[in-house]
C-alpha cells in the first residue's frame, strides 16, 4: 500500500537526515533513484519551490512527493513519516536533558554529530550545483566542452549574485524575479 510505503520511506529520511532540510537531499535523491517516484530534475524543482515557500524545506518536499504519489492522504503520510522521528527524538531529549545536560559523553556525541550534519549539507549542495550548472548527459554525447556547462544558468547566477551584492533588497524580491525569469525562459 502506497501510504504505508510513504510513511516508511520518509521515516527513514526523518530519522537519519540530521542537519535540517538540505540534509534530506541526499536521501531524497536516493529515494528518486530507488523508487522512480520522481526524477532528479523534479527534485531540483522541488528544492526551488520549497526554498521559495514558507516552511521547512524537507517538510515541503516530503509533502509534495507524498501528494504526487498518493494525493492529499499521501502528502499527509509522507509529511508525518518525515517529522515523527524528529518529534520523538526531541521529546526524549527534552525529558533526559536535565539529567544529562552537563554530561561529557553527551557533549562528545553532539561534537560527533556536527561533522555528519556538515557532510550531509555539503553533499546536498554539491548535488544541487551539479544539476543546476552542468549537463553531463549532453557532454557525454557531444564531447564539446561548452555542452558540459549550463551556460545560461551560470550567467544568470553570476548576474543575480552581482545584483544581490550591490542592491540589498529583500530576498523575496529576488525569488519572485527568479521565478518570473524561469517562467519566461522555459516558454
What confidence score (pLDDT) does residue 77 get?
Answer: 95
Round the average pLDDT of the chain to a whole number and report it: 85
34 inside domain: yes
85 inside domain: yes
The four Cα atoms 66, 68, 71, 76 give a dihedral, to 10 degrees, of 20
CA atoms within 13 A on the CB side of 23: 18
110 inside domain: no
What confidence score (pLDDT) does residue 25 get?
Answer: 82
Summarised one tens digit per residue, pLDDT across range 85-96 is: 989 988 888 888
What confidence score (pLDDT) does residue 34 get?
Answer: 92
Summarised one tens digit per residue, pLDDT across range 60-110 is: 889 989 999 999 999 999 999 999 998 998 888 888 877 777 788 878 887
Domain count, the chain: 1
Please state, in angstroms and as integers, the Cα–Cα distance from residue 115 to each residue in 81, 111, 121, 123, following that order: 25, 8, 10, 12
pTM over 0.85: no
What would the mean pLDDT of 156-178 be, rounded to a whole number?
86
What confidence score (pLDDT) does residue 12 get?
Answer: 93
78 inside domain: yes
What confidence score (pLDDT) does residue 46 get?
Answer: 84
141 inside domain: no
171 inside domain: no
Residue 92's domain comprises 2-103
What would the mean pLDDT of 15-25 be, rounded to a whole number?
79
Amino acid at each position: 500500500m502506497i501510504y504505508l510505503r510513504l510513511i516508511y520511506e520518509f521515516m527513514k529520511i526523518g530519522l537519519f537526515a540530521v542537519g535540517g532540510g538540505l540534509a534530506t537531499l541526499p536521501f531524497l535523491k536516493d529515494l528518486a533513484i530507488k523508487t522512480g517516484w520522481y526524477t532528479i530534475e523534479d527534485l531540483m524543482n522541488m528544492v526551488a519551490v520549497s526554498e521559495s515557500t514558507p516552511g521547512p524545506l524537507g517538510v515541503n518536499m516530503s509533502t509534495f512527493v507524498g501528494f504526487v504519489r498518493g494525493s492529499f492522504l499521501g502528502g499527509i503520510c509522507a509529511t508525518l513519516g518525515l517529522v515523527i522521528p524528529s518529534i520523538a527524538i526531541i521529546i526524549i531529549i527534552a525529558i533526559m536533558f536535565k539529567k544529562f545536560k552537563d554530561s561529557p559523553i553527551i557533549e562528545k556525541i553532539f561534537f560527533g554529530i556536527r561533522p555528519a550534519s556538515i557532510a550531509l549539507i555539503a553533499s546536498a549542495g554539491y548535488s544541487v550545483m551539479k544539476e543546476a550548472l552542468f549537463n553531463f548527459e549532453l557532454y557525454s554525447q557531444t564531447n564539446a566542452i561548452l555542452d558540459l556547462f549550463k551556460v545560461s544558468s551560470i550567467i544568470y547566477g553570476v548576474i543575480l549574485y552581482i545584483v544581490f551584492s550591490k542592491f540589498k533588497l529583500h530576498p523575496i524580491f529576488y525569488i519572485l524575479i527568479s521565478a518570473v525569469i524561469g517562467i519566461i525562459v522555459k516558454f
